Amino acid sequence: MNNSAKKITVSILGASGYSGAMALRILLRHPDVTVGKVFGTTAVGEKVHNLYPSLRGLTDMVYEEYASDKVADSEFIFLALPAGHAMNVVPEILESGKKVIDLSGDFRLKDPGLYKEYYKGDHSALSLLDSAIYGMPEINRKAIASTSLLSNPGCYPTSAIIPLAPLLKNNLIEPDDISISSLSGVSGAGRKSSVDLSFAEVDGSVKAYKVGDHQHIPEIESILSGEAKKDVTVNFVPHLLPAVRGIYTTTFTTPRKNVTSAQIEDAFHNAYADEPFVRHLGKQVPELKSVVGSNFIDIGWKLDKRTGKLIIFSAIDNLVKGAAGQAVQNMNIMSGFDEREGLL
C-alpha cells in the first residue's frame, strides 16, 4: 500500500501512441495517481477520447505540445516516444528533480556502440547510460526502488528474459545454445507503423522480420549474461502474428548434463512463487488469450526426452506487461506503492 496519503502526479510524453495511451488508461484508474498532462506531437489540440473513443467519459484531457514548464507539478514523467527521442529530453527532466520512466530503447543498452549498431544513431546522453536502471521487477526490484531513471524493458525481451533468467542463474542450461521464436501482434509496431506492418497486410499470414539484426537481441543477451554471470548468446527470430495484441514466445534450450525436471521446476518455483505477475504453469502450455489485457506473464515448459531439449513457452500482452503495465509496476515500486496497484 501507499506508505503516505499523498498522491503523485504523472505526465506522459507520447500519449497518442499505443503504449502511451495504454499507460494513460492504467494511470486513470490508479488510486494514488493524478494524471497531469498528456503530450502527443501528432495530435496537439485533439481530445484524447477523439483518438481513443474507449476513454470517452474517463477523461476530457487534450493532447498538448511538450514544454518543460508544463510538467512543473509532475513527480513522474512517462516517455512513450520513438527510439532516439527520449535521450533529448531526459537530462533536463532529471535536472528538474523529476523521475523518468522511459518506454523506448534509449537507455536499455549500456554500450553506446551497440546502441548505434542496432538503433542506427548516436546516443546524445552518454553520461546517463550507467545510471539508468533496467526496469524488470522480477530480477531488479531493489535497484528499481531507488532510481530516478528507469529504462522499461522491451516487449520481446520481457517474454524471453523472465523464463530464461532462473535457468541461467542456476546453471541449468547451456548459455550458448538458446533459440527464441516470438510471435507478436501488430500493435507492437506502433500506431504509425509502415504499410507492410499493418493488419491488412498481416491478416491471414505469419512472417518473420528483422532476422539476426533486431534491436532487442543485445538487450536480451546483455541482461541474461548478467543473470548467468557469463556470456549468453541467443538466436532470436521475431514474427508478425495476425492479431492486434499479445506476444507468444517459444524458446529452445539445451539442459546441462544430468539436469532433472525437478531441478527445472524448483528453479521456476523459487524464482517466481511470490511474484505478483508471473504465473508459472509448470508443464501446462500457456495461451495468449489468457494474458491479453493483463499485466501477467504465463510460463510453461516441457523437457523433450526424445531430443534432450528443454522447450519453454511464455505469453504476455505486449502493450501491458510488455510496455505500459510494466512501466506502472515500476512506478509503484519507485513510489513505495503496492506493486499491483492499478494493474489488477
Indicate which residues carry an active-site annotation: 155
Q: CA-CA distances (angstroms) from residue 89 to 4, 18, 81, 256?
A: 30, 20, 11, 46
Residues linked to residue 180 through DSSP beta bridges, in sequence order: 236, 251
- Burial code (b: 16+ CB inside 10 Å, e: under 16) for 166-179 equals bbbbbebbebeebe
Neighbours of 125 (CB within 10 A): 18
Q: Are 83 and 72 in contact (CB under 8 A)?
A: no
Residue with cell 495504454: 22
Secondary structure of 110-158 in the HEC alphabet?
A: CCHHHHHHHHCCCCCCHHHCCCCEECCHHHHHHHHHCCCEEECCCHHHH
Neighbours of 195 (CB within 10 A): 7
The rounded distance, in Å, linking the Cα atoms of 285 and 301 is 7
The rounded distance, in Å, linking the Cα atoms of 306 and 18 is 43
Q: The C-alpha cell of 64 is what?
A: 498538448
The rounded distance, in Å, linking the Cα atoms of 336 and 2 is 6
HSE of 179, CA atoms in CB hemisphere, 13 A: 6
Neighbours of 46 (CB within 10 A): 14
Residues linked to residue 311 through DSSP beta bridges, in sequence order: 252, 302
